């Protein structure tokens, strides 16, 4: 069982974070080894596939799958990280709302409604995704650095060009 170190055994209503290369896939544990999560339509939910195609899809299907099949060899853990900021709904409501959506095709956006948004909306009635927030912060920082390098390069080239013109006079 590929649990992360110091991870609790999942309980119904827990958020499960599955560590993929470069991102995390999120699911909601419903008990007896099963999870509910979003996956692109028509794809088997095994390790990597459920989120690999998510960049290219605008729809996702709510699936009920065995946690071990979805995680594959990837590490996972219970991560109810928003509990300190938001009160979770009662477990029976979380599970009932999740099960009610199995088989539903939902709009999907890696930015505004992804697998983490889906499961947090079930647990807290509020869609949240630190993964998206972190990605935007990183992109903004990289973009800012590239802009500074561009300005510096432009100024250096302008200064060099002006110096050449001054030398000709």
Which amino acids are annotated catalytic? 25, 37, 115
Q: Is 140 exposed, middle or buried (0-12, 13-18, 19+ CB in 10 A)?
A: exposed
Rounded Cα distance, 97 and 120, in Å: 12
CB 26 within 8 A of CB 59: no
Closest by Cα among 97, 152, 161, 162 to 123: 97
CB 144 within 8 A of CB 137: no
Q: Give the number of other Cβ atoms within 10 Å of residue 40's Cβ.
A: 21
Rounded Cα distance, 101 and 2, in Å: 27
CB 115 within 8 A of CB 55: no
Rounded Cα distance, 10 and 71, in Å: 14
């Amino acid at each position: 069982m590929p649990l992360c170190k110091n991870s609790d055994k999942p309980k119904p209503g827990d958020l499960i974070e599955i560590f993929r290369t470069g991102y995390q896939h999120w699911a909601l544990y419903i008990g007896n080894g099963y999870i509910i999560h979003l996956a692109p339509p028509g794809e088997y939910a095994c390790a990597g596939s459920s989120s690999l195609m998510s960049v290219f899809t605008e729809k996702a299907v709510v699936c009920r799958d065995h946690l071990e099949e979805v995680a594959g060899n990837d590490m996972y853990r219970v991560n109810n990280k928003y509990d300190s900021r938001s009160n979770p709904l009662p477990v029976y409501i979380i599970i009932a709302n999740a099960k009610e959506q199995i088989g539903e095709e939902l709009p999907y956006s890696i930015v505004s409604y992804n697998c983490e948004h889906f499961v947090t909306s079930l647990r807290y009635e509020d869609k949240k995704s630190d993964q998206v927030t972190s990605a935007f912060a990183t992109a903004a920082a990289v973009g800012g650095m590239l802009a500074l390098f561009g300005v510096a390069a432009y100024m250096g080239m302008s200064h060099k060009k002006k110096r050449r013109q001054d030398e000709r006079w």
